[in-house]
Amino acid sequence: MTTLALEGIDLTRRYGGFAALDKVSLRLEPGEIRGLIGPNGAGKSTLMDALCGRGGPTGGTVVFNGRDISGLSAQARRRAGLARSFQKTNIFPALMVREQVALAARMAETDNTDEVLVALGLLDLADRRAADISYGDQRRLDLALALVGRPSVLLLDEPAAGLSINESIVLARLLKDLASSWNVTVLLVEHDMEVIFAVSDRITVLNLGRVLAEGTREEIRGNPEVVRAYLGSSIE
Amino acid sequence: MTLLRLQSVDGYYGGARILHGVSLEVGAGERVAILGRNGVGKTTVVNACLGIARVRAGQIAFQGQAQAPIRHFTAARAGIAVVPQGRRIVPGLTVRENLALGAAVGRSGKWNFESVCDLFPILRERADTPGTAMSGGQQQMLAIGRALMANPALLILDEPSEGLAPVIVDELAATLVRLAGEDTSILLIEQNFSLVHRVAQRYYVLSKGAVVDQGTVEGMSMADLKKHVAV
Amino acid sequence: MIQVINGLVYGSFLYVLAVGLVLIFGLRRVTNFAHGSFFMLGAYVSYAAAAHLGFWTGMIVSVAALAVFGALLDRFVFRPLSREEPIVTLLVTFGLLFVLEDAVRTIWGKDYISVSAPEALSGSVTLFGSQFPTYRLFVIAVAIAVALGLAVWLRSTKVGLYVRASSVDPVTTAMQGVDTDRLSALVVAIGTGLAGLSGTIAGPLMALSPSMGGYIIIDCFIVVVTGGLTSFTGAFVAALVIGQFHNLGLVYVPEVASVIPLLIMAAVLGLRPQGLAGPRK
Amino acid sequence: MSSAVPRDKAKVAAASIAAERRTPTVVLAAGLLAAAGFAVPWVVGSQLALTLMTQAVIHAILATSIGFMIRQNGLTSFGHAAFFGMAAYLMALNGKLDAMPAELAVLAAIAVPAAFAFFAGLIIVRLPALSFSMLTLAVAQSLYELMLRWRGLAGGDDGMAVRLPSRLFGIDIELFQAPSSMFVVSWCALVAVIAILTLVARSHFGVLTVAIRENEERARYVGYHTLVPRALVFALSAAVGGLAGVLFALYNAFVTPGALHWSLSGEALIMAVIGGPQAIWGPALGAVIFFVVKNAMGDLTEHWPAIIGAMLIVVTVLLPQGISGLLNRLNRLNRRSREAGKA
Amino acid sequence: WAAKEPLKIGVPTSLTGPYSQLGDEVKRAVEFAVNEANAAGGVDGRKVEVRFLDTEAKPDLARQQAEKLALEGYNIMTATIASSEVLAIGPMLGRWNALYVATVTKANDITGKQCQPRLFRVNRPDYSDAAVIQPWLATRSEAKWAIVAADYAWGRGSGEGFRNAAAATGKTVVSENYPPLGSNDYAAFIQKVLDSGAQGMWVALAGRDAITFARQAKQFGLFDKVTTAGISFTTDGTVKVLGDVVKGINTIINYSATLDTPANRKFVSDWAKAYPGDSPTNFGGETYIGMQVIFQAVKKAGSVKPADVAKAMAGGTFETILGTQLMRKEDHQLVGPNYFGIVEAVNGTLRPAIKMTVPAQTATPGPDANCKL
Ligand SMILES: Nc1ncnc2c1ncn2[C@@H]1O[C@H](COP(=O)(O)OP(=O)(O)OP(=O)(O)O)[C@@H](O)[C@H]1O
Ligand SMILES: Nc1ncnc2c1ncn2[C@@H]1O[C@H](COP(=O)(O)OP(=O)(O)OP(=O)(O)O)[C@@H](O)[C@H]1O
Ligand SMILES: [Mg+2]
Ligand SMILES: [Mg+2]
């Protein structure tokens, strides 16, 4: 068996008596795109936090390319090749778009700033202050900060939120591209089911801090529990 | 009566002109959508109504009353509540307090803490946790709940479906339609066509800060709408 | 024991002054270096008013005058600058400090002035076997009243909620229909009014001089920072702790007494960067 | 991600060339400015004017150091006089104790404040902005108290003379104490400081620290350590403050605890902000203007504090971005109208 | 008087800031002396011009301002408030080709370790104040004493002086307190003095500290319980502010308008004409003495060049309102008497009044051995 790109074992996080994450385990193969869905407050963002070393103390182990990184700081994890984007836009408001993407690139082996700017359609905004671009554009900038420098594993928290339909389609295609051409592994949280179903190799469903189901898109779509707790009736 | 009317509005951030002669209106009990790609100026329309973006030409009227100058609280006092893009939950306040803040204008109506919590039960469950400690989607519910607390005559929602699970979006759609039936007009800015299709009666399409198209949703299929609007 | 009460007096006095600073900082994010001058102005105004109207009316006049001054300040200075970096408003308060000192020096002269305690409070009581000035007990009472009043106002009234909301996100608060401009003017007025109050109660304790604000403002900021910048409870605890240690320091280690407040602040921030009761980041 | 369109490539290339052209320009401009400084003593005959100008320039260096902190770290030091005074006292104490050659003392007087700031910075740059400010104030005031009480060695509040050898770096010490030559020395130091800080601000390190200032958390999630760069900015700023202190000690040959007092820190801060710290050169400009105005007002009336205060209020309300902000805006307007003219 | 070069006097003093009130007192005295001289046809036929610059009592600034005055030609200077300012100015006088006469600054070093060829002093230094404590203390019956003195060079020095005097006269010091400069609350110290069982108290606090301390001490009833004496504690200025609070307190007096000599009576009555309803304060009187010395030295030198004036000053004798006094060659200290008195009502106003005169030879002991001129 090849080494896993990323593995979380028994990840747990509590806020007071409430378990936002309760012994969740997750195994990502290299080059895989894994969809992560679940109701609001299921613990998806918390799971990403646990994987990348954000927030309070977490129980469990994170293994990255065969190496236990549980004790590493967030910046060390990023330098090892584990990057993430944020659900709540997290950018450098006073810096130019290009400036900040280039800054993020400096930390990694390859500088693909321009490639990323072009791919995300940000080139025209490259010399604008990040504070002065629209919300959707800021969302894409946040994504660019994660993509640049060719990390080997990407944790993307609702990258399509706030994007117009066309942009979402471009994004979905881009993710597919990335996975196949760079062999990037992606853990993708999304509430936009079109994107999820279009790109995910497998899907994990979280509910109340635990894994509810895991499987291919067909299996997930057909799982009545998932439909009841999350998908609802309107997904065709 | 029209609740909100923009007449040839030019909107600016500092010296940058963003809106070019935008005109649109929302009547009583109407459900209207604004569509458009990222960065065309949808949020700027809202911000112009809130006095965040500056109006240098044209006119904005609430409930038939022309407004100048527009202060940040003008819209709220004219019965217009906004669910802002990015949620803007006030840090340091609990869920309950964030909701109470929404009732600052003191209009009475069917929405109060209890009824909002019936719509989004999680808010009751977590009433005393800090608002910003909630998950992204829960915060979105809180933002919507807070706007409802004002019992507005017009509810403006800037991409409310963002971050919400599909089941919740379903409920939201139903709620919005119901609201309009109860005399609250809706101005919906959305990328989620399924929501627009279910909620809106009319739509405006914005491109590069100008209204380039408008029409009625009723009678169109979802596919038609997508094709027609072609954003 | 008497020494502990003495520490309490100084702490109480610091609290009344510092809590005004907390209010203004909380709402406007203004590092108000002129607060010491407001205090000084308050002392002079009440001194002038008291000469004709008596101590108590003088107190009311001083608080009211300073409150009006604060409201105007908010309207014409803090509001226009509310979108600029905090450092810019800080500079304005520096300027104000210069102007106020000079104005007071011109109006009331450079001579020191000394004020007597009001008749009713000028005696002393016997406490733990020693004679203790009644006026000093009054200072403690004022601080307790202010602390309780503020706590009730901020925690359990609607306006209090708006104040708390507006201090973290004024735009969103205004979007809910709150006139945050008027709210700020009110809060700044209360803050400067408290400076007037503390100036008044300082009169019988210390010499009035145009530069008296400078002697107190640093201790005051130390209280605010140690307490956690925006926390009223924090300021209360910090003022009492610092007042106490300051006083005990004077008694037992006078050589380093003047840096004790600084050391307490450094120690607290070392352990809790957010201050005693500041919000966790 | 191989779909970059050729048109985009051209844009990309053009932008990066523009960025590279700047370094030599900065060096050249600095050289010219420094050279201009040599002409000043010839043009300005009056000793009085020269001594004022020298003092103004030394203050300008101090203001520049504070401004740099504000610009890069977003943190305001209320106690920068600590570094200024620390350097001056190091020079003075070395003169008294003869611990090392004066040349070495000069370097130490710059290095010690920097090292001190670096290690203190590792602890305190994480604090909320106002708390940081107050702690810097605390450090400075503690040093002030220390020097005030240290009668045996440092003369307490009476201060101490700075004993210097007859030559420093091979230059006659008299030259450091005569206004006409000291002006040139200080001026060159100021120009060099501004040039170096400008290059630092444009470098990767400069952008990184601004990024950390803007959003420290995100900087960590793109892979950077955030503490060390901020502490380094603090250290660099302290070194510049120390340089000002060294020049001060050389010129005046006398230090008192006043060199550590908060009113000096406050004044330097005022200078930095009215100059506008968003431009590296802003604070220096502010310093010179403030110094000259204060001096002129002090000559005219004893109500100078009120006049200075009122001017401060008016200037900041009208020009919240400082003088450099105004100049930059005028410059932009000018350029825009020229471009409009062309089109 | 167009013919002769005017006498230009520079006054770098404290016009703003915490000591501005003292600055005002010396300023009035300088102006009074200048007006008086000009009205009498000038000094040696020269018009007297004066220029004041603000030092905020900061040594660094004092040095800058003094340099400015010297370069502008006001190179005979006087009347700075703080000793540290004078010590900062002193070493530069040669370089600026200027001269300085200290009038209210008391640090021993000015005519001691840091004496300078161009630096002179007319008022009583700290060691002179120490020298008069002992004769006074010998007359007192209180055995146990407490000290409250400001925590800086002057206060500490005065405390030490008192301690020595106490030892020499067989008294014990039961409590020593050095509150920091600019304290706001003296309750802790007052309590300590009360608890110490002292019968007498020596206070060396000045200006704002003196007033704040006195006010609080009164509230605690301290003055009623112990005999209080001090230096700079009850000056004309603080007594005016404090009134009855400090009635009956004993004090060293360096100069007082109540001094009953013909020269002083004339000075006081001329002053009252120039400033109706006012009488000169201790600092005013001392500064006036400085002006008298400058004027007479200029006349003697027949020049306004600092070098010539300095030559005329050193070793000369001068007619002052305190009598004929010698400016010692060895350390440039004017040799004069010192006084002890009590705060009481004189002609209806409360002020420190002289009760005991300590003659010049006791009050101004020999030249400081540290001074090498
Ligand atoms: N600091 C905190 N304190 C208390 N509860 C918290 C805190 N942070 C998160 N939670 C709770 O943990 C749970 C999981 O949150 P999380 O953000 O992981 O949800 P999510 O699955 O990402 O939801 P969404 O789809 O809405 O983004 C939520 O119920 C949330 O309220
Ligand atoms: N504060 C600002 N200052 C200057 N320009 C701004 C500012 N905010 C937005 N803009 C610009 O205004 C334009 C319109 O932005 P707006 O936020 O209205 O877009 P939008 O249609 O809401 O987009 P999205 O779907 O991404 O939310 C964009 O080009 C953006 O770059
Ligand atoms: Mg989430
Ligand atoms: Mg938008």
The answer on pLDDT for D15 being more than 60 is no
Closest CA to E343 of E219, E239, E225: E239
Cβ distance B136 to A235 less than 8 Å, yes or no, reads: no
Chains C & E: contacts with CB separation below 8 Å: 110
Residue of A nearest to D226 (CA): A75
Q: Is D292 among the domain residues? A: no
Helices and strands (H, E) in chain A, number of each type: 9, 10
Residue D275 lies in a domain: no
- Per-domain residue ranges of chain C: 2-271
Report the separation in Å between the CA atom of B46 and the middle of ligand 4, taken as the mean of its atom positions.
9
Round to whole Å and give the CA distance between D168 and D173.
6
| A91 near D CB under 8 A | yes
Please give, rounded to a whole number of angstroms, the shortest distance from the CA of C251 to a CA of chain E. 6
Mean predicted lDDT score pLDDT of chain C:
89
Do the chains contact at A191 and B134, CB–CB below 8 Å?
no
The residue ranges of chain E whose pLDDT is under 70 are 1-2
pLDDT at C279: 66
- What are the beta bridge partners of residue E333? E121
Distance of CA C207 to the CA centre of its chain: 18
Cβ(B41) to ligand 2 under 6 A?
Answer: yes
Confidence of residue C145 (pLDDT cuts 50, 70, 90): very high
E171, amino acid identity: K
Q: Which of C33, C78, C85, E54 lies closest to D272 in space, CA to CA?
A: C85
ipTM: 0.87
Q: Would the CB atoms of D312 and C31 count as touching at under 8 Å?
A: no
Please judge whether D313 and C86 are an interchain contact, meaning their C-beta atoms are less than 8 angstroms apart: no
- Residue type for D287, please? A
Contact criterion met (CB < 8 Å) for E185 and C3:
no
Q: Which of B71, B82, B101 sits opposite C173 (nearest CB)?
A: B101
Taking CA E142 as the corner, what is the angle to CA E140 and CA E148, rounded to the nearest 5 degrees? 100
Q: Is the CB of B99 under 6 A from ligand 1?
A: no
Give the number of residues written for chain A.
Answer: 236
Could you tell me which residues come within 8 angstroms of residue C81 by beta carbon, excluding any fewer than 6 positions away?
C88, C89, C92, D316, D317, D320
Q: For residue B106, give how far its alpha carbon lies from the nearest alpha carbon of chain A (Å).
A: 30
Residue D24 placed within a domain: yes
Residue nearest to atom 3 of ligand 2 (CA): A132
- Ligand 3 centre to CA of A44 (Å) is 5
User: What long-range pairs does C253-256 form, CB within 8 A, spacing at least 24?
Assistant: C254/E151, C254/E177, C254/E178, C254/E179, C254/E180, C255/D149, C255/E151, C255/E178
Mutation to probe ligand 1, out of A12, A15, A49, A196 (largest number of atoms < 8 A from CB): A15
CA of B104 to the centre of ligand 4 (A): 25
Question: How many angstroms separate the Cα of E305 from the Cα of each of E76, E99, E294?
Answer: 9, 9, 12
pLDDT tens-place string over residues D91-150: 999 988 888 888 999 999 999 999 999 999 998 888 888 889 989 998 998 899 888 888
What's the rounded Cα separation, in Å, for the pair C181 and C79?
A: 7
CA D122 vs CA D65, D119, D127, D129, D230: distances in Å: 18, 5, 10, 15, 8
For D119, the domain range is 9-261
Q: How far, in Å, CA of D294 to CA of D276, rounded?
A: 18
pLDDT band, very low/low/confident/very high, at C124 (cuts 50, 70, 90)? confident
Q: Which residues of chain E neighbour D156 with C-beta distances below 8 Å?
A: 152-153
Closest C-alpha among C11, C2, C117 to residue C54: C117
Kindly give the confidence (pLDDT) of every residue in chain B, 231 residues in length, as a single tens digit, with 9 standing for 90 and above: 788 999 999 999 988 899 999 999 999 889 999 998 888 999 999 999 999 999 999 999 888 888 888 899 998 898 899 999 988 999 889 999 999 999 988 888 889 999 999 989 999 998 999 999 899 889 999 999 999 999 999 999 999 988 888 888 888 888 888 888 888 899 999 988 888 988 999 999 998 999 988 888 887 787 777 777 665
Q: Name the closest ligand to CA B95.
A: 1
Cα of B133 to ligand 1 centre, how many Å?
A: 7
Residue B191 CA: which ligand 2 atom is closest?
25
CB contact under 8 A, C98 and D306: yes
Closest partner residue to D130 (CB to CB) among C31, C258, C266 is C31
pLDDT tops 70 at residue D17: no
* Tens-place pLDDT, residues D242-297: 999 999 999 988 898 989 998 899 999 999 999 999 899 999 999 999 998 988 88
For residue C45, what are the contacts with CB-CB under 8 A and spacing of at least 6?
C58, C61, C62, C65, C66, C196, C199
pLDDT for residue D1 is more than 80: no
Distance (Å, rounded) from C-alpha E130 to C-alpha E15?
30
Q: Which two tokens stand for residue A130?
A: 């990040």
Cβ–ligand 1 contact at A192 (below 6 Å)? no
The CB of B136 under 6 Å from ligand 1? The reply is yes
E197 touches chain C (CB under 8 A): no
E strand spans, chain E: 7-13, 48-54, 76-78, 99-102, 119-121, 144-149, 172-177, 200-204, 227-230, 250-253, 317-320, 323-327, 334-335, 338-346, 349-358
Spell out the residues 6+ positions from residue C44 whose beta carbon is closer than 8 angstroms to its own. Answer: C104, C107, C108, C113, C199, C208
Q: Pairing relation of β-strands A210-215 and A202-207?
A: antiparallel
Instruction: State how far the Cα of B205 lies from the Cα of B219, in Å rounded to an integer.
Output: 18
User: Would the CB of A124 count as within 6 Å of ligand 2?
Assistant: no
Residue type at E327 in one-letter notation: M
Are A137 and B38 in contact (CB < 8 Å)? yes
Contact A134 B38 (CB under 8 A): yes
Position in ligand 1 atom list of the atom nearest CA B129: 4
Determine the pLDDT at residue B64.
85
Going from the Cα of B29 to the center of ligand 4, the distance in angstroms, rounded, reads: 24
Inter-chain CB proximity C178 and B104 less than 8 Å: yes
**Nearest chain A alpha carbon to B193:** A165
Determine E/B contact with 3+ CB pairs under 8 A as the test.
no
CB of A82 within 8 A of CB of A118?
Answer: no
**Cβ–ligand 2 contact at B121 (below 6 Å):** no
The one-letter amino acid code at A182 reads W
The CA-atom distances, in angstroms, between C148 and each of A156, B11, C16, C59 are 48, 47, 12, 20
Mean pLDDT of D75-92: 94
Cis peptide before B69 (omega within 30 of 0): yes
Task: Give whichever of C21-30, D91-100, D190-199 has the largest mean pLDDT.
Answer: D190-199
D322 assigned to some structural domain? no
C→D interface, C-beta within 8 Å: 25, 31, 33, 77, 80-81, 84-92, 94-103, 106, 218, 221-222, 224-225, 229, 255, 258-259, 262-263, 265-266, 269-270, 273-275, 278
Of the candidates D47, D148, D305, the beta carbon closest to that of E152 is on D148
Element (H, E) at C271: helix C260-271
Ligand nearest to the CA of B157: 4
- Looking at the structure of chain D, the number of domains it has is 1
* Phi, then psi, of A188 in degrees rounded to 5: -115, 115
CB of A42 closer than 6 angstroms to any ligand 1 atom: yes
Chains that touch E (3 or more CB pairs under 8 A): C, D
**Does residue D284 lie in a domain region?**
no
Token representation of residue D208:
């990184």
Rounded mean pLDDT, D64-83 = 94
Under a CB-based contact definition with an 8 Å cutoff, are residues E368 and E111 in contact? yes
Q: Return the C-alpha torsion angle E229, E230, E232, E236, nearest 10.
A: 0
The share of chain D scoring above pLDDT 70, in percent, equals 92
- Cα(C191)–Cα(C199) distance, rounded to whole angstroms? 12
Q: Where are the beta strands (DSSP E) in chain C?
A: 124-127, 130-133
Tell me how far apart the 2 most distant CA atoms of chain E are, in Å.
Answer: 69
Of the candidate ranges A170-184, D75-89, D154-168, the one whose mean pLDDT is the lowest: D154-168
Residues of E in contact with C130 (CB under 8 A): 191, 194
Question: What residues have CB less than 8 Å from B106, skipping those under 6 apart?
Answer: none
Domain C2-271 has CATH 1.10.10: no
CB distance from D306 to chain C under 8 Å?
Answer: yes
What tens digit of pLDDT does each residue of C31-69 get? Answer: 888 999 999 999 999 999 998 888 899 999 999 999 999
DSSP state letter for B94: B
User: Does the beta carbon of A165 sit less than 6 angstroms from any atom of ligand 2?
Assistant: no
For the CA atoms of E299, E300, E306, E310, the dihedral, rounded to the nearest 10 degrees, stands at -140
What are the residues of chain D with a beta carbon less than 8 Å away from any beta carbon of chain E? 46-48, 51-52, 55, 148-149, 151, 156-159, 161, 252-254, 256, 258-259, 261, 263, 298-299, 302, 304-305
Residue C29 to chain B, least CA–CA distance (Å): 16
Burial class (CB in 10 A: 0-12, 13-18, 19+), A142: buried
pLDDT less than 50: residues of chain A: 236
* HSE-CB of D177 using CA atoms within 13 angstroms: 19
Say whether C102 and D316 touch across the interface (CB within 8 A): no
DSSP secondary structure letters along A73-92: -HHHHHHHTEEE--SS----
Yes or no, beta carbons of E237 and C215 under 8 Å apart: no
Helices (H), chain D: 6-20, 22-43, 47-73, 81-97, 102-124, 129-149, 151-154, 173-177, 179-202, 204-214, 216-221, 227-252, 262-275, 282-300, 304-318, 322-342
> D8 pLDDT exceeds 60?
no
Q: Please state the φ and ψ torsions of residue E229, each to the nearest 5 degrees.
A: -140, 160
From the list C97, C106, C221, which residue is nearest D134 (CB)?
Answer: C221
Amino acid (1-letter code) at residue C268: V
Q: What's the rounded mean pLDDT across residues D11-30? A: 62
Question: What residue in D sits closest to E105 (Cα-Cα)?
Answer: D158
Q: Tell me whether residues B162 and A231 touch, CB distance under 8 A.
A: no
Buried/exposed D236-273: b ≥16 CB within 10 Å, e otherwise: bbbbbbbbbbbbbbbbbbbbbbbbbbbebbbbbbbbbb
Rounded to 5 degrees, what are φ and ψ at C184?
Answer: -65, -45
The reply to whether D319 falls in a domain is no
d(CA E162, CA C147): 46
Distance D264 CA to ligand 4 centre (A): 48
